[in-house]
Structure 1
Amino acid sequence: MVRGAARIPSPCCGKDMSIIGTRKRKSKERSGETKLYSIRRLSCDNCSKIHHELPDLLVPYKRYSSECIELVLSNPSTHDIPADESTLYRWFDWFNSLI
Structure 2
Amino acid sequence: MHYCPDCQSILQHRDYRLRIMKTEGGTKQFIQIERLKCNHCERLHNALPDFLVPYKHYVAQIISGVLDEVISADDLELSIIVQSKHARNFPSPYRIASPHRR
- AA of the residue aligned to 2:56: K
Q: Which has the higher contact order (CA 8 A, sep 6+)?
A: 1
Normalised TM-score (structure 1) = 0.79
Counterpart position of 1:48: 42
Secondary structure at the aligned position of 2:26 is classed as coil
CA contact (8 A) 1:30 1:68 kept: yes
Counterpart position of 2:65: 71
Structure 1: distance between partners of 2:9 and 2:89 = 30
Unaligned 5+ residue runs, structure 2?
Answer: 92-102
Normalised TM-score (structure 2) = 0.77
| Aligned positions, number | 90
Unaligned 5+ residue runs, structure 1?
Answer: 1-6
Shift of 1:81: 6.2
Structure 1: distance between partners of 2:74 and 2:31 = 20
Shift of 1:94: 1.6
Counterpart position of 2:98: none
Structure 1: distance between partners of 2:11 and 2:19 = 20
Q: Which moved more, 1:80-89 or 1:25-34?
A: 80-89
- AA of the residue aligned to 2:49: P
Specify whether residues 68 and 87 from structure 1 end up closer, same or farther in structure 2 by C-alpha distance, changes over 3 A only: same
CA contact (8 A) 1:30 1:81 kept: no
Structure 2: distance between partners of 1:67 and 1:98 = 13
* 1:89 is the counterpart of 2:55: no
Counterpart position of 2:24: 30
CA RMSD of aligned residues (A): 2.0
